């Protein structure tokens, strides 16, 4: 997992990047909806916004 932060005035934006072996693994984790964002009850203590969907990308190259 990679967590990136971008500070903008008095707000910090975070981007969490995870890597999965298959779309099936993602669906198992989310309960079947691969595009729906999954949140936990404690997230309300830290997040100001809750994006409804996630974005999936395919790794086409990676540095050693």
pLDDT tens digits along 26-56:
999 999 999 999 999 999 998 989 999 999 9
Residue 1 three-state SS: coil
- Residue 60: the pLDDT is 95
CA-CA distance, 48 to 22, in Å (whole number)?
30
CA-CA distance, 2 to 28, in Å (whole number)?
21
Return the residue matching tokens 């997230």. 43
């Amino acid at each position: 997992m990679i967590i990136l932060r971008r500070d903008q005035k008095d707000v910090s934006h975070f981007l969490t990047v995870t890597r999965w072996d298959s779309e099936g693994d993602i669906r198992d984790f989310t309960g079947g909806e691969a595009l729906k964002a999954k949140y936990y009850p404690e997230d309300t203590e830290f997040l100001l916004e809750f994006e409804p969907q996630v974005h999936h990308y395919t790794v086409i190259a990676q540095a050693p």
